[in-house]
Amino acid sequence: MIDSINDVIIIGSGPAGYTAAIYLGRAGIKPVLISGLLDSGGALMNTGLVENYAGFPDGIPGPELMQNMQSQAKKFNTDILVDDVIEVDFASDIKTLTLSDNSILKTKAVIVTTGAKYRHLGVLGEDEFAGKGVSYCATCDGFFFKDKAVAVVGGGDTAVGEAIFLSSLASKVTIIHRRDQLRATATIAAKAKSIPNIEFAWDSIVEEVKGDDAGVKSLELKNVHSLAKSQIDCSGVFVAIGHNPSTGIFRGKLKLNDLGYVIVNSPSTATSQLGVFAAGDCVDSKYRQAIIAAASGAKAALDVDEFLKGVV
Please identify every residue annotated as catalytic. Answer: 137, 140-141
Residue 235 is classified by DSSP as S
Cβ atoms of 94 and 179 within 8 Å: the answer is: no
Give Cβ neighbours of residue 214 (< 8 Å, ≥ 6 apart): 132
Distances (CA, A) of 10 to 77, 79, 242, 291: 13, 10, 26, 18
Query: What angle, rounded to 10 degrees, do the helices at 14-26 and 62-75 form?
Result: 20
Alpha-carbon distance 80 to 85, whole Å? 13
Residue 16 backbone phi and psi in degrees, to 5: -65, -50
Cβ atoms of 261 and 246 within 8 Å: the answer is: no
Alpha-carbon distance 163 to 198, whole Å? 7
Closest CA to 177 of 244, 240, 227: 240
